[in-house]
Amino acid sequence: MDRLKRDRAMLVAGGILIMLTQLSISTNCFSLFIVPICNDLGFMRGQFSVAQSMISMGGVVAAMFSGKIFNRFGIVRSMRVSAALAAVIYFMQSTVSTIPGFCIINFLLGFCNTFGTSVPLSLLITDWFSEKRNTITGIVMMGSGLGTSIFNSVANSLILGFGWRSAMKILTVIMAICSLGTDFLLLKEAPDSVKALGGGRPQAAAKGGKSSGDVPFFVGKHIPIAFMCAIISISSGIFMSTMQPHLQDVGYTQTYAAHLYSISMIFMAVGKIFHGMIIDRWGVRVSNTAIVVTASLGLFGLLHFSGAATAFLICIGMMFISSLNVVGAPALAEALGGAENKKFFLGKISACINVGYMLAPFIFGTVYDRVGSYVPMYYVGIGLLLVSLIGIWGLLPAKKEQKA
């Protein structure tokens, strides 16, 4: 049992470090580069939003068959390859100067990260842990909030001191050392005896349950659930991606925007733990309601930003804003398909969420180029979040109805 505790502790520590470096640097800090890149290369934000959305497009494509890849090559081995490729691809991004070049690089980056960050980590947690898996998932996923808080400030200083290209190259070195070192030294597959205690997949197979490949997803009530996930993530994408540019547009400095974003990331890190605890105690219906309510408050704060009070609303809004993808999606997959089908359902749900993140830059970038402001999109985002409540309370199972 001492060895089991040690291996589980290594997984949690390693997972936090992966989220803190690979995901935070390559994806979550990207919005900080929007203004410097557009100013340097002469892009309109609507044009550049196409490249930005390719990160999510890569995630959509990869998530659709991620379960098969993990089954064939193993979760940890896939993560190691992902970490190596992500570092190479992120470095290449610092060398391109055209919209098509950014599109290709970002697509490949989003594709690789699907196999190296939150999706495989949530599956490893299911394999290694038998109780309070959602709380543990929240603890691991808080690394992305902490990492974004840290590296957002670091990246801002690097951009101001050396330019955005050199900033990306320096961040690449940090990401490669931390993510590759973690994948090789701290993470490993759970033995079958532990999987039976944790995820329950061996037991389910022994009872003659359906294999994941035989379980349908895009049928019946799962179709509106998929739509609900997409519209929540559209609003989330609008909120997260435009916060810093919007604050600069209304007269605040890039440094002020970066510091507020970093503070909000601390709220996000803590929020992931609370979100996991909410799921374990009250289920996916209540946890998704928490996402909608807090995100709406955050968008309201951006609409009427005037100082400390509205800054606090933004931080509250950030608490659960990314939890749908990294904490909520694994819980929703297990609630709908059970532990034995989690790997299959998680890929499909993650794809739906990434569709929303993919569409968000297209939408807010186009609107910005037409009216010169993100404000209309904040009203749209609040409206979409309120509509999603219909799906949350009409379609998602209550805690007592969730599959084991």
For tokens 């998602």, the residue is 396
* pLDDT on residue 277: 94
* pLDDT on residue 66: 86
| CA gap 249, 315 in Å, rounded | 19
* pLDDT on residue 333: 87
* pLDDT on residue 266: 87
pTM of this structure: 0.82
pLDDT tens-place string over residues 5-24: 899 999 999 999 999 999 99
CATH number at residue 108: 1.20.1250.20
* pLDDT on residue 282: 92
* pLDDT on residue 1: 57
Domain extent, residue 263, equals 2-187+194-401
* pLDDT on residue 71: 87
- Average pLDDT of the residues of the chain: 87
Q: What is the pLDDT along the chain (404 residues), one digit of tens a residue?
A: 588 889 999 999 999 999 999 999 998 888 788 889 999 999 887 778 788 789 888 988 998 888 889 989 999 999 999 999 999 999 999 999 999 999 999 999 999 999 999 999 999 998 999 888 899 999 999 998 888 888 888 998 999 999 999 999 999 999 999 999 999 999 999 888 887 665 555 444 444 444 444 556 667 778 888 889 999 999 998 998 889 889 988 888 878 888 898 888 889 889 999 999 999 999 999 999 999 999 999 999 999 988 888 999 999 999 998 888 889 998 998 888 877 778 778 888 988 998 988 888 888 888 888 898 999 999 999 999 999 999 899 988 888 777 65
* pLDDT on residue 404: 55
* Contact between residue 341 and residue 321 where contact means Cβ atoms under 8 Å apart: no
* pLDDT on residue 56: 86
Residues above pLDDT 90, as percent of the chain = 48
Q: How is residue 281 written in tokens?
A: 């105690």
pLDDT tens-place string over residues 271-301: 999 999 999 999 999 999 999 999 999 999 9
What total number of domains does the chain contain? 1
